[in-house]
């Protein structure tokens, strides 16, 4: 996403500061290289870098809610498009790609917005969220989901 927007870590650190998020260039680089960060950070980067995102995310991203509340609202919104899914079924789908998360753990993490970007991408993979192609193509999405699965 940063490469597509031609945004350096230094520029991102400055842009994050402008939206009230204190991150150093070094901390950003570390998070990106490790690939382990909460979805709140992903949303902050998305916002600060003026990247495209699915239209249905706009309401959550343009509010004064906490970043955790925004993350939770976005993932709950995506999951609501598949009303037949419950926490057990979502857990089972994730298990098919090697991600073992108990249904109650999923519920808690999603409701409080504390989930990782890896978990979001894993859900996007098994639930086929529309619009994720704006920052990842399908091959990269699958790669990210599987890499996240091996890290858990």
SS (H, E, C) the chain: CHHHHCCCHHHHHHHHHHCCCCCCHHHHHHHHHHCCCEHHHHHHHHHHCCCCCCHHHHHHHCCCCCHHHHHHHHHHHHHHCCCCCCHHHHHHHHHHCCCCCCHHHHHHHHHHCCCEHHHHHHHHHHHCCCCHHHCCCHHHHHHHHHHHHHHC
Output the pTM of the full model.
0.86
Q: What is the pLDDT of residue 148?
A: 58
Percent of the chain, pLDDT > 90? 66
Check residues 145 and 90 and name the one with the higher pLDDT.
Answer: 90
């Amino acid at each position: 996403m940063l490469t597509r927007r031609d945004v350096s870590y230094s520029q991102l650190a400055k842009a994050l500061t402008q939206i009230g998020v204190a991150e150093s260039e070094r901390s950003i680089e570390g998070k990106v290289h490790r690939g382990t960060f909460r979805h709140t950070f992903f949303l902050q980067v998305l916002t600060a870098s003026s990247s495209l995102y699915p239209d249905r995310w706009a309401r959550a991203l343009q509010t004064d809610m906490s970043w955790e509340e925004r993350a939770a609202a976005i993932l709950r919104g995506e999951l609501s498009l598949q009303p037949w899914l419950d926490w057990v079924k979502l857990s089972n789908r994730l298990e098919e790609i090697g991600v073992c998360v108990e249904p109650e753990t999923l519920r808690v993490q999603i409701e409080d917005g504390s989930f990782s970007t890896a978990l979001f991408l894993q859900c996007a993979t098994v639930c086929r969220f529309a619009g994720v192609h704006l920052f990842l193509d399908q091959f990269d999405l699958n790669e990210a989901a599987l890499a996240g699965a091996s890290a858990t």
